[in-house]
Structure 1
Amino acid sequence: VVGSALMARSINPEVLVVAVAYAALSLLWWWWPSERRPASHGELMLSPRQALATVGIDMASFAILSFVDRGFNVNTAALMALPVLMTAVLMPRFMALAVAAAATLILLGGAVIEGMLKTNLTASLTPAGLTGFGLFTVALLVSELSSRLAREQRSARGNMELARQQAQLNRLVIEEMPEGVMAIDRQGRVRTANPSARRLLSAHGQTPAAPFQLRGVPAWEPLVSAIEKAFTSPLRRDESREIQLTFDDHTRRVLRMRLKFTRGRDLQNLDDVCVMFLEDLRTVQGRIRQDKLAAMGRMSAGIAHEIRNPLAAIAQANELMAEDARTPEQQTLTAMVADNVERLKRIVDDILAVAPGARPAAPAIDLERMLKSVIDDWLRLNPDAQQASLLTVDTRGLPPRELGSVASVVFEPEHLRRVLVNLMDNALRHGSGQAGAIVVSAQVLSVSDHAPQAMVSVRSDGPVIDGDTERSLFEPFFSTRSRGTGLGLYICRELCERHGAS
C-alpha cells in the first residue's frame, strides 16, 4: 500500500481497509500488557491462544486481502509462506502441517473463484496446487530443522549447566586448598588467587581480592623475578623454587613456588598465563617431619615388639644373679641392671601405647572414682609428695554423688591412668615443692548444641614454659632432661586424641 502510494498508483479502498486493520491488530497485540511480559527462559513453543491470535489473524488477513484484490496483484502465495514458516519454527509439526493445509485451501479457494471468473479453472488451479505442495514441503523441512535446532539448544543448555556446575566445583576446590594458587600473566597481573595465596602474600591478614598487580610492591619483587625467569627459561619452568618475601614490618616468609604453564592451540608455544602454586616452607617441612615421624613410629613399634623377649630374658637372668650376689659391688651392679631393665620396659610400653592398630571401643567410666584411684596409687608411689601435702584435689565442678549423679567419660581406664600419671609426674618435677603446689581439678562443662563435656586439669606452681620449649612440647623424643625419653607429653596427646579428647 505504501509503495503504491509512493508510485502514485490508485489504491483499492478494500485493500487499504484490510491493510490498516491488520496493522492496527499488530500494534494492539504488541501493546497488550499480557503479551509484553518477557517469555520464560527456554520457551520455544506458542500457546494455543498465541497461535490463534497470530497465525489465525495472519491467515485470515491474507485470505481477505487475496479475495478483495482487484488488479492490485498481491502475491498471496508469498504472504501465506510467512505463517507456515512461523508455525513450523515455533509449534509442533502437526500444527505446521495444519497451517500449510489451511493455506493451501485458501489458495485453492481463491484459484477456484478466479477460474470461475475467467472461465479457465485449470490454469488457475495448477499454480495454486503447486504452491500448496511447496508450502507442505517448506513446513516439513523447516519443522525438521527447527526440531534439530531445539535439540541442539537443549543439549547445549545442558552442557552449559554441567560446565557451570563443574566450574563451581573447581572454584570450591581451589578456594579450600591449603596450597596457594594464583593465575598470573607475563605482566605480573594476578587474574585470580585463592584465600591461601592471598594469606601467604600478606604479613598479616589477606591481600585484596584479585585482580591485582604484583609489580610495584617491594615485598613481591622475588615473585616477579621468578615469573620472568620462568617465562624466559621454559626448560626449567616446572621445577620447585624457594623464594623469600620481606614485608614492610621486616617479617620474612620463605615460600616454595611451582609454576605450571598452559599450551597454545598448536601445543608448542606457551600461553601468556601461568598457574603458580605457593606453600609456606614451614608447612612443607612440618609435613615432611610428620611423615618421618610416622615412619619412625611404625619402625619403633616393630623394634619394641622384638625387644620385649630379650628384655624379659635379661630381667630373669639378673634376678638369678641377684640371688647369688654376696658383695656390695655385685649387689650394686644387679640393682643397676634391674633399674635400666625397668626403664627400657617403660619405654617399650610407651611406644606400644601409641602404635597404630585396631582397638576395642573404650568403656564409659566414672570420672570421680577413676581420679581418686589414680591419685591414691600415685601418692603411694610418691610418699614424699603425700607427706608434704603437695597435691590438692578439687572435684567441686562434678555432679554431687549424693543426688545420684555420676560424671561418666568414654576413655580406656589404663590410658587415662597413663595420661594423669605423666602429667602429675611433670607437675611434681617442675613444681616448687611447697604445700598445695600441685592441683588436680575436674568439672563438667556445658557446651551449646553439644553433649556436656568433662575437663580435667593438672597444674603446678612451677616456672612458665618458654616459647621455644612450648612449640616443641608435644613432639616425640623432645625432652629438657638428659635422662628423659621425650615421649611423655607426646603419648598423652596421642591417647587423648584417640579417645576424642584434647
Structure 2
Amino acid sequence: MPQGLWLPNRRLIEVYNYYRLLLSLSLALAMSAVLGAQAETELHTTFKLYQVISYSYLFAALVLTALLMVLRKVRIGHIIATITLDITFLTILMYASGGIHSGLGNLIIIAVACGNIITTGRFGLLFAAIASISTLYMEFYLQLEQSSASSGYVRAGLQGLMYFGTSILIQNVTKRIDESEHLAKEQAREIINLEHLNKMIIQRMRTGIIVCSEGGRVHLVNEAAKALMPSDSSHNALQSSPHILPPLICQYLSDWKSGLKHQFATFSSIGGHTEVRCSFARLTAHSEEILIFLEDASKLKREAQQLKLASLGRLTASIAHEIRNPLGAISHASQLMQESQNLDKADLKLASIIQNHCLRVNRIIENVLQLSKQRVASADHIKLSEWLPNLVETIQQGNIESEVTLTFNQHVVAQFVDSQLEQVVTNLITNGLRYSQQTTGKATVELLTDVDQKTGLPFLDVIDDGPGILESDPEKVFEPFYTTDSAGTGLGLFISKELCELNHANLDYSKHPIKGSQFRITFAHPDKII
C-alpha cells in the first residue's frame, strides 16, 4: 500500500484527540452554564440547539477516542473526516452562540492549525477552505434568520483569511521542523555509524588501548590490550573485573600522574613471552579521561632490528664481491705458502692463522647474506617426536662421541618451515655439544618437547652442560656479532632467533637450575594460520 495513505506520526493524533475530548467536555459544561444563566426568551431555540450540538460533540469525541484505541493504523482519510467533523460542530456551536461575534471562530483556527500539523500540502488548505465556507454560510444563514442582526460578513471574510494564513504559516513551520528533524536523524545516524566505525577500528588495532578515569575505572578496552595484560594478571583479568585496571598498570598510572617516573614503563605480558611498553596520555589537556597505550616492545625491537639487518644486508651485498676478491687472493696465497718447503714451523703457523681468519671472514659474509635473503614460506606441521630423531642421527654422524637425550610429548606439533627449523635446532644442538665438551669433557645435550600448561603453546627445550651465560649478558646473547667463542662469528643465535620470529615463534634463553644453558623455542599454536 502507498506510504502516503498512512499517517506517519500516531502520537500527534493521540494528542489532538485528547484536546478534542477536553474541548468538547468544556463546551458542554461551561458554555451551557453561561447560556443557561441568561433569559430563555430570545435564546430559547438557539440554547436548545447549542445543548444538543455540544452533547453530540462530546459523544462524537468519546467515539473517536475509542475508535483510535482500536485501530492499529490510521488512514489519512480518517484524519480528514475527523478534522472536518470538528470544524462542522464548532461552526454550528458558533451559530448557536450568536455568530461570528461569539469568538468561537478562534477554536476553528486551532482545529485548522492542528489539521495542518498532522497532515501536509493540499489537505491542510482543504481544512482552511472548509472552515472559510462554513463560517461564511453560517453568517449568511444567520442574517436570513435574524434580519435585525448586524452584518458580520466582513468579520467572516477576515476570519476566512485567518484560516488560510494559519494554514500557510503552519505548513511552512511544519516543513522546516520536518527538515530539521530529518537532518537531525541523518546526523544522529552518521554519528552512530562513526561510533561503530571507531569502535571497530579500535578493536582491530594492534596497539592495545585502554580508556579509563582518574581513579582507574575502565571505560573502553580493545582486544589487543586484553592480550597484552601484565603477567601478574590472570587470563580473564578484564573479563572478571571489566571496569578495574590490573594492579601493576594502576601503579604505573599513579606514578605517571605524580610525575615520579618517565612516561614509558615496561612489563611482561601474560605468559611472559612478550615485553610490553606502557604509555599514558590525557584525552584533552584538561580532561579526566586517560588513554593508556600498550605496545609490543619486542615487536618494536624486531622492526628496528630488521631495519638494521636490511641495511647490513644491502651493505654486505654491495661490498661482498670487492671483499671476496682480495680475501680469495689472501687465502690462496696462504695455501701456497703452506705448501712451500722453505718455511719453518713459525711461518707455517702464521700462514695457518691467515687461512683460518680468511675462512672466518668468509663465513661472516655468507651468514649475513643468507639472513638477508630469508623469506617467509608456507609453514609445515612437524611432529617433533618423529622429526627430531632423524635430525639428531644426522648430527651425530659428524660427531660420533656426542650424546643427545630425547624426552618427547608424542602430541607436540611444531608449525615451522622444515628447512628453517632444521637450521635453528642444528645450531642450538651443535652449540650445546661444543660448550658441554669444553666444560665437562663430554659432548651432551638434552632435548625436551611438551606443551605449556598456561599458554597451550608447544615448545622445544635444548639443554646443555656448559658454563651458561653471565647474568649481565642474557640480553646480548641474541645480538649480532656477540660471541664468547674466539672462533665463532656471533651470528648463529641471532640468525636462529630471526628465523623463529619469521615463523611466529619465540627463542628465549634461561639458566637451567641444575645444568648449564637452556634455550626454549616456543612455537605458534598448531591451529593458527601463519
Q: Same fold (TM over 0.5)?
A: yes
Q: Name the structure 1 match of 2:417.
A: 411
Q: Is the 8 A contact 2:87 2:131 kept in 1?
A: yes
Q: Name the structure 2 match of 1:449.
A: none
Q: Is the 8 A contact 1:183 1:274 kept in 2?
A: yes
Listed one character per residue, the Cα deviations across residues 87-116 of structure 1 (whole Å, up to 9, x for unaligned) are 211212111011112222222321331233
Matched, 1:421 2:449: no
Q: Is the 8 A contact 1:96 1:139 kept in 2?
A: yes
2-structure distance, mates of 1:293, 1:156: 52
2-structure distance, mates of 1:59, 1:174: 59
Q: Is the 8 A contact 2:433 2:444 kept in 1?
A: no
CA RMSD between the two structures: 5.4
Q: What are the within-5 Å matches in structure 2 for residues 64-463 of structure 1? A: 64-69=92-97, 74-118=102-146, 123-170=151-198, 178=208, 181-182=211-212, 184=214, 194-195=220-221, 204=233, 205=237, 222-223=255-256, 225-226=258-259, 241-242=262-263, 257-259=280-282, 261-262=284-285, 273=287, 276-278=290-292, 289-290=301-302, 292-309=304-321, 310-325=323-338, 326=340, 327-355=344-372, 359=375, 377-385=394-402, 390=404, 411=417, 413=419, 415-429=420-434, 437-439=445-447, 457=460, 459-460=462-463, 462=465
Q: Name the structure 2 match of 1:488.
A: 492
Q: Which amino acid aligns with 2:48?
A: P
2-structure distance, mates of 1:152, 1:288: 50
Listed one character per residue, the Cα deviations across residues 285-332 of structure 1 (whole Å, up to 9, x for unaligned) are 767755643442233223322452213531343223312324333333
Query: CA distance change for structure 1 residues 322 and 221 in 2, over 3 Å: closer, same or farther?
Result: closer
CA shift, 1:143, in A, is 0.7
2-structure distance, mates of 1:408, 1:461: 22
Query: CA distance change for structure 1 residues 72 and 277 in 2, over 3 Å: closer, same or farther?
Result: closer
Q: Is the 8 A contact 2:371 2:495 kept in 1?
A: yes
Q: Is the 8 A contact 1:439 1:459 kept in 2?
A: yes
Q: Name the structure 2 match of 1:476.
A: 479
Query: CA distance change for structure 1 residues 469 and 47 in 2, over 3 Å: closer, same or farther?
Result: farther
1-structure distance, mates of 2:67, 2:467: 83
Q: Is the 8 A contact 1:242 1:256 kept in 2?
A: yes
- Which structure 2 residue ranges, 5 or more long, are not aligned? 1-26, 267-275, 452-456, 506-522, 524-530
What secondary structure, in the 3-state scheme, does the structure 2 residue paired with 1:157 have? Answer: helix
2-structure distance, mates of 1:423, 1:371: 13
Query: CA distance change for structure 1 residues 91 and 365 in 2, over 3 Å: closer, same or farther?
Result: closer
What secondary structure, in the 3-state scheme, does the structure 1 residue paired with 2:160 have? Answer: helix
Q: Is the 8 A contact 1:222 1:244 kept in 2?
A: no
Q: Name the structure 1 match of 2:269.
A: none
Q: Is the 8 A contact 2:32 2:50 kept in 1?
A: no
Q: Which amino acid aligns with 1:495?
A: L
Q: Name the structure 2 match of 1:250.
A: none
Question: Which piece of structure 1 moves more, 464-473 or 175-184?
Answer: 464-473
1-structure distance, mates of 2:231, 2:390: 52
Q: Is the 8 A contact 1:473 1:489 kept in 2?
A: no
Q: Is the 8 A contact 1:374 1:417 kept in 2?
A: yes
Q: Name the structure 2 match of 1:269.
A: none
Q: Which amino acid aligns with 2:305?
A: L
What secondary structure, in the 3-state scheme, does the structure 1 residue paired with 2:125 have? Answer: helix
What secondary structure, in the 3-state scheme, does the structure 1 residue paired with 2:208 have? Answer: coil
What secondary structure, in the 3-state scheme, does the structure 1 residue paired with 2:287 have? Answer: strand
CA shift, 1:166, in A, is 3.1
Question: Which piece of structure 1 moves more, 82-91 or 147-156?
Answer: 82-91
Q: Which amino acid aligns with 2:316?
A: A
CA shift, 1:379, in A, is 3.5
Q: Name the structure 1 match of 2:3.
A: none
- Which structure 1 residue ranges, 5 or more long, are not aligned? 40-45, 228-239, 246-252, 263-271, 399-406, 444-452
Q: Which amino acid aligns with 1:112?
A: F
What secondary structure, in the 3-state scheme, does the structure 2 residue paired with 1:384 have? Answer: coil
Q: Name the structure 1 match of 2:55.
A: 20
Q: Which amino acid aligns with 1:113?
A: Y
Q: What are the within-5 Å matches in structure 2 for residues 47-62 of structure 1? A: 47-48=75-76, 50-52=78-80, 54-62=82-90
1-structure distance, mates of 2:100, 2:165: 28
Q: Which amino acid aligns with 1:105?
A: I
Query: Normalization by structure 2: what TM-score?
Result: 0.62
Q: Is the 8 A contact 1:362 1:412 kept in 2?
A: no
Q: Is the 8 A contact 1:180 1:200 kept in 2?
A: no
Q: Is the 8 A contact 1:259 1:275 kept in 2?
A: yes
1-structure distance, mates of 2:283, 2:465: 53
2-structure distance, mates of 1:221, 1:441: 42
2-structure distance, mates of 1:190, 1:367: 46
